[in-house]
Amino acid sequence: MMQDTRIRADVLVCGGTACSASGSQEVMKRLREEIAKKGLSEEINVVKTGCHGFCENGPLVIVYPEGTFYVRVKPEDVPEIVEEHLYKGRVVERLLYHEPTTGKSIPTYKEIDFYKKQKRVVLSKCGAINPEKIEEYIALGGYEALGKVLTTMTPEQVIEEVKKSGLRGRGGAGFPTGMKWQFAHGAKGDKKYIICNADEGDPGAFMDRSVLEGDPHAVLEGMAIGAYAIGADEAYMYVRAEYPLAIKRLEIAIDQAEKMGLLGNNIFGSGFNLKIHIKKGAGAFVCGEETALMASIEGRRGMPRPRPPFPANSGLWGKPTNINNVETWANVPQIILKGADWFRSMGTEKSTGTKVFALTGKINHTGLAEVPMGITMREIIFDIGGGIPNGKKFKAVQIGGPSGGCLPESMLDTPVDYDSLTKVGAMMGSGGLVVMDETTCMVDVAKFFLNFTQSESCGKCTPCREGTKRMLEILNRITSGQGTETDLVVLEDLAKTIKVSALCGLGQTAPNPVLSTLKYFRDEYEAHIKEKRCPAGACEKLAQYFITEDCKGCGLCARNCPVHAITGEPKKRHVIDQTMCIKCGTCMQNCPFKAITKK
Amino acid sequence: MEMVNLTINGVKVQAPKNATILEAAKSAGIHIPTLCYHPDLKPEGACRLCVVEATGARGLVASCCYPVAEGMVVQTNTAQVRKARRLVVELLLASHPKGCLSCRKSGDCELQRIAADLDVRNHRFDWGERKTYTLDDSNPCLVRDQEKCILCGRCIRMCRDVQGMNVYSFARRGFHAMVAAAFEQDLSKVACSFCGQCSAVCPTAAIMEKDDTERVWDAIHDPDKIVVCQVAPSVRVALGEEVGLAPGSIVTGKMVAGLKAMGFDKVFDTNFSADLTIMEEGHEFVDRLQHGGVLPMVTSCSPGWVNMCELKYPDLLPHLSTAKSPQGMFGAVIKTYWAEKANVNPAKIVSVSVMPCIAKKAECVRPQLRDSGFQDVDIVITTRELGKMLREDGIDFTRLPDAEFDSPLGYGSGAGAIFGTTGGVMEAALRTVADVVTGQDIQQVDYKAVRGFEETKEATLNIAGKEIRIAVCNTLGSAMKMMDRVRAGTANYHFIEVMACPGGCIGGGGQPIPTSKAIKKKRMEAIYSIDSNSKIRKSHENPEIKILYDTWMGKPLGEKAHRLLHTHYSPQNR
C-alpha cells in the first residue's frame, strides 16, 4: 500500500458485496474524480478493499493514516470529504459513526463498539488490502507461511503444528483439522486432492463470501500448505456460482500467484506443485455436504453417499482427498507463521482461535464479526451487534443455520464454542446468527428452516425426503390453527427419529430447529394448538382483528371488507365477526383513526 | 481372507474384513430387512430400512454398506432401531397408493411384504400429500407407474452401473425428487434398450413389463384362431420359481402340459429355432471368415443388445449377424413352413412366444420381422406373465403330467438349449462351425472357456488349423466396452457373442422375481444339464432341422433362407 513515498493518504472504499449493493462503486468513482479535480491524485491513493463487516452502515470509507471511519457515504457526500478532509484536513463530523444511545460521534474504527470486542484474525486483512493485488497481501506477510513450510518444514511437522493449534473445522461439525490432514496424509495413493468447500448456503450466512472477496490469497495459501502436508498436487475450490465477485477475485488471485511462482509448478523453487481449479456450484444446498460436493465436482448429481469410506481414503475420483471450508483454510497461514501456541491463546481449551459470525435478523449492526471462541452469545448480540432495533425485546437467536437451533434469552450466557452449543441443542454451524425479536413466531421460524431443508433435500434417503415433508405439513397445520395435540407428539417423534436415521448431515440436522424450539418455546406451539393463537402475532391465519374504542363509526372498514364481516351503526363502534373474517387486513389499512388492531 | 470378530445381537460373528454388517448378520442367520439393497447392485444406504446400532458410529448406520470392524458390537433390534425402521416403512406407505388389492405386483411386492413383516399398521400420515404422475406406457415393453416408486434407486444403479445405459437418474429435490429419464421424458423418447433389467430389480410396481396376458387369453378364447406358442430355452429352468419350486428346477414337460391345458393349440420349442439360428449364423460366420466379410461378427439374438447397437453404435451395425433371433426365425417359419405343412391359413394363426426377455416385446413389432406376409410373432409374454396365467388358470403345476412339444418345430438339440445362457450361442455356433469347417463330426463339444458369469470372456481356438479368436459379453455395460474397442480397432476377434442381460437369458428382464446371481447360477446349471443330457448336442444334427432344409428351406444362406431367416438393422434416433 505504501510503496510510493509521495502518497500521504490512503482512502479505503469497501468493495464487499453489501457495500457495493448500497453504492460503494459510485462513491469510489466520485472520489477519484474529485481527487483528480483537486490535483491530489499523486498524493492520495484510492483503494477498493474487501468487506469490513459493518455492513449495516455501508458504504464505508476509511481514511488512513489516521483511520477516520465514515459510514453510509453517498456519492453526493464525496466532494465534502475531499474538500474538507483530504484538502483541508478537517474531519467531516456528520459522516462519522454515531453511537446510537448517546449520539456521540466516533471518529475511528477501533473505538466503535462493533469492533472493540472483536478479535480479527481471519478477517485481519479483509478491508485493509486491495484483494485484487497480490503485492498488498505479500506486504502484510502473505505467502511467508507457505515459504516457511516449503523450505523448513516436513509435512509431518506441518500436521503436528496444526494439530497442536487445536484448529477445528469451521464449516459446521468442528472436526479437528490436523487429524483430518493426518488421515489424508496417511492414506495410500499416488494422487491426492485438496478441496476448499466454499459452498456457503445457509440462509443469512456470508462469512466465507466476505473472506473470499476480501482476502482470497489467505485461503489459497492455506490450501497450498494443506496440499503440501497431505501430499496433493491438485486442488479444487468449490464455490457457489451465486458469488460472482468472489469467483472473479479468486481467478485474479490464482492467476497472480501462479505468475509469481507461489502456486502452480515448482513453488518457491521447492519442487512442490499445486494446481488450483475453480469449480462453480449450481446452488444446491446439499452440495455443501462433502460427499455430495465431490459428486458435483465429478459432474454427477450432488447427492451424499454414506461414509465410510471417508474422503481421506476415497474421495474425489476415488482418491484420498482432504476437504476444509474457507474459514478453516484462511486460519492456516497464521497458525504456521505465529505458531500453535499463539492460536491456542485465543478461545477455549477445546475450541481454540476465533470464529466469524454473520449477524442478521433483528439486530442493529447487521454484518460480520469475528470473535474469540468462548465469548457469550449475549456479548455478540448486545455489545457487538448493538442489540435489538426499535426498542423491541430479544426473543431468540438461531445459530448454525438450518442445521442449528434456536436459543432463548436464558441461554444467552452460553459460551460460544463447539461443545457448549451442541449441549444446548444448537450447533456452531458455519457461523450464521439470525436474531429474532418478540414479533417473531418460533413455530414460524421452525417452519421456515424446515421448508428450506425439505426443498433442499437431495431426495435420496427416506427419513429426509419423506419425513421432513410430513414435519413441514404438521407445522403448516399448526401455524394455520389446525394443529392437534397428537400432531405435537408425532412431530417430536419424527424429529428425533430422522435425526438418528437420515443418511447425511443435512437430514440428521434438519430437525434441529424444530427440536430446539420445542425445547425452549413449547408454550408457543401449545398456544397455536390449544388456543388457536399466535403469541407473536406473526401467523397470519391465526391473527384476529379487533376494532378498538377509538372507532368513530365512519363505516369505511365495513364498506371495504370483502366478506362483509364488519357491522355497526353509523357513528358507533363497529364490530368484526371473527367467524367470517378472512384476515386480509383491508379494514386495518382503511381505518383513518387507527382504531383496528391485530392480535 | 482376513477375518474380524464382532458381536451381533449378542452373538459372536466372524466376518471377512471387507464385509458389511448386513453380510455378517446374514452369515450368522440374523435377518435385517432391506429395500434399496439388492445383492447384484452396489449398496447405497438410501432407504434407511436396514439401519442398526453399531459401536463407533454416530446415530444409526445402514448395515447394507457399513463395514464391519474388529470388536464391533451391533444391535439390530433395539427400540430405537425398530422405531426408525417402522418409520421408514410408514413414510414410504404415506406416499404410496393404497390400492394393493388391485396392484399387479400384489403378492410379489417387497414394500408390501416388509410392511406386513414389520407389522406396520399404524398409518399416522394418511393426511399427507401424495405425488401424482402420468403413467408411462409409451413403449411396447415397459410400464412406469411413478406413483408406486419408492426411490430406492435400484433401477438407476442397474441401468447405470451394470447396463451402462444411464437411462434413469434422480431429478428434482426434496419431496418432489423422482426417478426420471432425460428431461423427464417417456421411455419411448430416450435411448432405452428395453432390456427390462430395471423391472427385474424394482421392488414395487413402479417399473413392470407391459402386460400382454389379456391379449393371449383373448386369442385362446377366440374359436377362429389357431393359437400356437414357442417357449424360449431359459424359460423352462426359471418358470418353476413362479409356482414355488426351487431355482434351477427343470420343468419342461410340465410347462408344455400347462400351456396345453391353458388352451394353446400347439406348443413348440424355441430351442428348435435356436438350432436354426446356428445353421444360418454359423454358415454366415464361415462365409465371412472365408470371403473377407466384416469381422468381428457379433451375434444378434439379444434384442436389448440389438437396440443398444442401433442406438449407440450405428456405425458398427455391419458387424451384426444378419441371422434373425430364434424368436424371429420361429415367427417366420410358423406362418409359412408350418402353415403349409399343417394346411392352415396363416392369417388365422396367432403366434405367441414365451420369453425371458422384455425387449422381445419390441422385437416382435419391428417392421423388418414381417417376412411371412404377416407380423411373424404376434404376442410376446415373459416368464413372469406365463406364471401369472398359470396361477390364474388354476393349474396345479406340480401335479401336471409331463407333455411333449408338438412336432415339427418341437425338437431342439443341446446346442439350442444353451442359447439361454451367456456363452451358449457362441458354444452352439462353435459346435457347428467346427464340423462345417473341418467336414468332420468332432466329438469334443464342450467349450468351457465361454461358460460362466464373467462379464467378458475370451478364448482362442484352433479350428481346422485356423486360429479363431472369440469373445463373449454379458451385460450391456460390458458390451459397450467391447464395442468401444471394436470401434477403435483394438478388438482383435473373429466372433463376439453379446447378451444384454447379466448372465444371458437366464437373467433376462422378464424372468421371475426375485433374481440374483445365486439364483441365476442355479438356472445356468440347469441349462447345462439339459445340454449334457441331450442325445443330440449339435444344431446341424437336429433331425427336424435337417428335414426343414431338405424338404423346404433349401440350403443355409440360400434364397429362401435369406428371405425368411435374415434381417437388417437401422440406426435408431432416440
Task: Out of B31, B64, B91, pick the residue that ends a domain.
Answer: B91
Q: How many beta-carbon contacts under 8 Å exist across A and B?
A: 110
Given this model, what pLDDT does residue A429 score? 83
Same domain membership, residue B238 and residue B205: no
Nearest to B382 by CA among B210, B197, B207, B145: B210
Query: pLDDT tens digits for B217-266?
Result: 999 999 999 999 999 999 999 999 999 999 999 999 999 999 999 999 99
A366 vs A18: CA distance, rounded Å = 10
Shortest Cα distance from A470 to chain B (angstroms)?
7
Task: Out of B178, B209, B240, pick the residue that ends a domain.
Answer: B209
Who among B83, B91, B170 is closest to A459 (CB)?
Answer: B170
At A109, phi and psi to the nearest 5?
Answer: -35, -60
Instruction: Determine, yes or no, domain membership for A173.
Output: yes
Grid cell in block for residue B298: 457379433
Q: Do B88 and A463 touch (CB under 8 A)?
A: yes
Shortest Cα distance from B169 to chain A (angstroms)?
9
Query: pLDDT tens digits for B15-52?
Result: 999 999 999 999 999 999 999 999 999 999 999 999 99
Same domain membership, residue A380 and residue A238: no
Please, which residues have CB within 8 angstroms of residue A33's CB and are 6 or more apart in sequence?
none
User: CA A546, A552, A555 angle in degrees (round to 5)?
Assistant: 75
Structure ipTM over 0.85, yes or no: yes
Instruction: Determine, yes or no, domain membership for B13.
Output: yes
Shortest Cα distance from B133 to chain A (angstroms)?
17
Same domain membership, residue B436 and residue B547: yes
Same domain membership, residue A271 and residue A167: yes
B27 vs B22: CA distance, rounded Å = 9
Task: Out of A371, A405, A437, pick the residue that ends a domain.
Answer: A437
* Domain housing A473: 442-530
CATH of the domain at A404: 3.10.20.600
Instruction: Please give the C-alpha separations between residue B476 and each of A176, B70, B498, in angstroms, as whole numbers.
Output: 45, 39, 8
Grid cell in block for residue A167: 484448529
Sign of the four-CA dihedral B266, B245, B503, B109: positive
Instruction: Please give the C-alpha separations between residue A379 and each of A119, A345, A372, A415, in angstroms, as whole numbers.
Output: 13, 20, 11, 10
Q: What is the mean predicted confidence (pLDDT) over B519-527?
A: 97
Task: Out of B160, B182, B209, pick the residue that ends a domain.
Answer: B209
Q: Do A460 and B177 touch (CB under 8 A)?
A: yes
Q: Taking CB atoms and an 8 Å cutoff, what residues of chain B touch A305?
A: 44-45
Grid cell in block for residue B495: 466372433
Q: Do A460 and B44 touch (CB under 8 A)?
A: yes
In chain B, % of residues over pLDDT 70: 100
Same domain membership, residue A585 and residue A451: no
Which residue of A455, A458, A501 is the best one to mutate when testing the B interface, meaning the one whose CB has the most B CBs within 10 A?
A501
Query: pLDDT tens digits for B148-162?
Result: 999 999 999 999 999
Q: Taking CB atoms and an 8 Å cutoff, what residues of chain A touch B125?
A: 470
Sign of the four-CA dihedral B470, B473, B478, B483: positive
Q: Do A494 and B87 touch (CB under 8 A)?
A: yes
Same domain membership, residue A290 and residue A180: yes
CATH of the domain at B71: 3.10.20.740
CATH of the domain at A467: 1.20.1440.230
Instruction: Determine, yes or no, domain membership for A120.
Output: no
**Number of structural domains chain A divides into:** 5
A88 vs A85: CA distance, rounded Å = 6
Instruction: Determine, yes or no, domain membership for B117.
Output: no
Same domain membership, residue B414 and residue B558: yes
Shortest Cα distance from B312 to chain A (angstroms)?
21
Same domain membership, residue B453 and residue B546: yes
Map A392-452 to HEC letters.
Answer: CCEEEEEECHHHCEEEEHHHCCCECCHHHHHHCCCCCCCCEEEEEECCCCHHHHHHHHHHH
Q: Do B175 and A457 touch (CB under 8 A)?
A: yes
CATH of the domain at A107: 3.40.30.10
Query: pLDDT tens digits for B66-105?
Result: 999 999 999 999 999 999 999 999 999 999 999 999 999 9
Grid cell in block for residue A315: 474421495
- The amino acid at A559: R
| Enclosing H/E stretch for B90 | helix B79-94
Instruction: Determine, yes or no, domain membership for B515.
Output: yes
Strand A193-198 vs strand A234-240: parallel, antiparallel, or unpaired? parallel
Same domain membership, residue A548 and residue A514: no
Given this model, what pLDDT does residue A385 score? 92
**Would you call B65 an interface residue with chain A, using a CB distance cutoff of 8 Å?**
yes
Q: Taking CB atoms and an 8 Å cutoff, what residues of chain B touch A503?
A: 45-46, 48, 62
CATH of the domain at B501: 3.40.50.1780
Given this model, what pLDDT does residue A4 score? 56
Same domain membership, residue A593 and residue A453: no
Same domain membership, residue B425 and residue B383: yes
B416 vs B278: CA distance, rounded Å = 8
CA Rg value for chain B: 25
Query: pLDDT tens digits for B477-504?
Result: 999 999 999 999 999 999 999 999 999 9
B326 vs B300: CA distance, rounded Å = 10
Q: Taking CB atoms and an 8 Å cutoff, what residues of chain B touch A508?
A: 59
Same domain membership, residue B227 and residue B175: no
* Domain housing B146: 131-209
Task: Return the residue matching grid coordinates 374504542.
Answer: A549
CA within 13 Å, CB half, B107: 10
DSSP states of B392-460 as a string?
HTT--GGGSPP-PPPSSS----HHHHGGGSTTHHHHHHHHHHHHHHH-S--S----GGG-SS-SEEEEE
Instruction: Determine, yes or no, domain membership for B105.
Output: no
Nearest to A35 by CA among A47, A51, A19, A23: A47
Q: What is the mean predicted confidence (pLDDT) over B554-574?
A: 95
Tallying the residues shown for chain A, one arrives at 599
| Enclosing H/E stretch for B13 | strand B11-16
**Would you call B62 an interface residue with chain A, using a CB distance cutoff of 8 Å?**
yes
Could you tell me which residues of chain A have a Cβ less than 8 Å from any Cβ in chain B? 284, 286, 301, 303, 305-306, 308, 454-463, 465-470, 473, 490, 493-494, 497, 499-503, 508
Map A18-63 to HEC letters.
Answer: HHHHCCHHHHHHHHHHHHHHCCCCCCEEEEEECCCCCHHHCCCEEE
Edge to edge, the sheet with strand A264-267 lists A264-267, A272-281, A234-240, A193-198, A321-325
Query: pLDDT tens digits for B278-298?
Result: 999 999 999 999 999 999 999
B167 pairs with which residues across the strands? none
Q: What is the mean predicted confidence (pLDDT) over B389-410?
A: 94
Instruction: Determine, yes or no, domain membership for B103.
Output: no
Same domain membership, residue B399 and residue B280: yes
CATH of the domain at B147: 3.30.70.20
Same domain membership, residue B235 and residue B178: no
In chain A (599 residues long), the average pLDDT of successive 10-residue segments reads 68 90 92 91 89 89 90 94 90 89 83 88 91 94 96 97 96 92 96 96 88 96 98 97 94 96 94 97 90 96 94 96 97 96 96 94 92 95 92 93 91 93 86 92 95 96 97 96 95 97 95 95 96 90 89 93 94 92 90 89
Same domain membership, residue A558 and residue A422: no
Shortest Cα distance from B91 to chain A (angstroms)?
6
Same domain membership, residue B136 and residue B51: no
Task: Out of A503, A530, A557, pick the residue that ends a domain.
Answer: A530
How many CB atoms lie under 10 A from the CB of residue B343? 6
**Would you call B129 an interface residue with chain A, using a CB distance cutoff of 8 Å?**
yes
Which residue of B17, B47, B48 is the best one to mutate when testing the A interface, meaning the one whose CB has the most A CBs within 10 A?
B48
Given this model, what pLDDT does residue A255 score? 97
Judge whether B42 and B28 are in contact, CB under 8 Å: no
Given this model, what pLDDT does residue A108 score? 85
Same domain membership, residue B508 and residue B398: yes
Strand B169-171 vs strand B178-180: parallel, antiparallel, or unpaired? antiparallel
Grid cell in block for residue A560: 371495504
Q: Do A467 and B87 touch (CB under 8 A)?
A: yes
Instruction: Determine, yes or no, domain membership for B123.
Output: no
Q: Taking CB atoms and an 8 Å cutoff, what residues of chain A touch B151?
A: 459-460, 462, 465
**Would you call B46 an interface residue with chain A, using a CB distance cutoff of 8 Å?**
yes
Instruction: Determine, yes or no, domain membership for A238.
Output: yes
Same domain membership, residue B155 and residue B46: no
CA within 13 Å, CB half, B9: 16
B418 vs B524: CA distance, rounded Å = 9
Same domain membership, residue A245 and residue A171: yes
A238 vs A169: CA distance, rounded Å = 16
Same domain membership, residue B44 and residue B156: no
Nearest to B381 by CA among B247, B239, B281, B481: B239
B480 vs B485: CA distance, rounded Å = 9
Q: Do B84 and A463 touch (CB under 8 A)?
A: yes
Instruction: Determine, yes or no, domain membership for B573.
Output: no
- Burial label for B164, CB within 10 Å (0-12, 13-18, 19+), is middle
Q: Do A503 and B46 touch (CB under 8 A)?
A: yes
Q: Do B48 and A284 touch (CB under 8 A)?
A: no
Q: Taking CB atoms and an 8 Å cutoff, what residues of chain A touch B51?
A: 501
Shortest Cα distance from B308 to chain A (angstroms)?
23
Distance in angstroms between the alpha carbons of the first and the last residue of chain B: 47
Given this model, what pLDDT does residue A327 score? 96
Same domain membership, residue A239 and residue A156: yes
**Number of structural domains chain B divides into:** 3
Judge whether B378 and B364 are in contact, CB under 8 Å: yes
Q: Do A306 and B61 touch (CB under 8 A)?
A: yes
B358 vs B195: CA distance, rounded Å = 6
Shortest Cα distance from A473 to chain B (angstroms)?
7
